[in-house]
Amino acid sequence: MLENKVAIITGGTRGIGLEIVRTFLQNKARVILFGSREESVHKAILLLKKEGFAVDGYFPNLNKIEEIEQVVQEIFSKYRSIDILVNNAGISASKKIEDTTSLEFESIMNLNVNAIFNMCKAVVPFMKENHGGVILNTSSMVSIYGQPSGVGYPASKFAVNGLTKSLARELASFGIRVNAVAPGIINTDMVSCLPKEVIDPLVKTIPLGRIGEPKDIANAFLFLASDLASYITGEILSVDGAARS
């Protein structure tokens, strides 16, 4: 579905991000993964190599536009195209507001919102040059419903939705589609470590009767990145089993 497409995926070293990388590779994309640390990038590349995939990796500071622009230019010079950008890097939060410092709130917004802006700003000129592209952002179910504590996380994902919808309108005339995927409760490392007495009540809130798997989310990204979604832009696709919490 993505044969010969060049895709950059941030937050691609573990969890949902790694599964997106794997799914894109399985569909013949040429993938460049970004991670937060050199060691995590190398670990992911080695894992994928053992699975029979070749992938490049970088670890720029996503809050430093100069670093990002340098890496993106290097990628474009090598591949002569950047067709897909997946902004998946992010951090969550669960502290009550009185326990959250201003620095912690700022850190969430920096990675979950400002880094997406920086990546888009760096990539869009190359997509315009190639007369099209796809930008996909990782949102969250809490961007729609909020959450009981950890206000910084849903606030950042509300911002991701606004950025997605606005960029979709701004870039449509250049053939660039912009969408987001809003995962529900997904069986990542963090969730899998929770005890059964915590997991079971969560499952009861999901009409489909199960927690989502990273592959469920990766498949949604695959669809939106592909030509099957050529007339879809500005959408926030919920992938949450109809959970409403």
The set of catalytic residues is: 153
Report yes or no: 142 and 160 within 8 Å, Cβ to Cβ. no
Distance from C-alpha of 91 to C-alpha of 139, rounded to nearest angstrom? 11
Distance from C-alpha of 132 to C-alpha of 83, rounded to nearest angstrom? 7
Beta-bridge partners for 183: 239
Distance from C-alpha of 30 to C-alpha of 5, rounded to nearest angstrom? 6
Written as six digits, the tokens of 49 are 């190599």
Written as six digits, the tokens of 128 are 């315009």
Q: Which residue has the tokens 């090598």?
A: 78
Report yes or no: 112 and 56 within 8 Å, Cβ to Cβ. no
Distance from C-alpha of 185 to C-alpha of 240, rounded to nearest angstrom? 7
Give the closest residue to 5 by CA, choosing from 229, 235, 161, 238. Answer: 229
Beta-bridge partners for 86: 9, 136
Q: Which helix or strand (DSSP H or E) is residue 49 part of?
A: helix 38-50
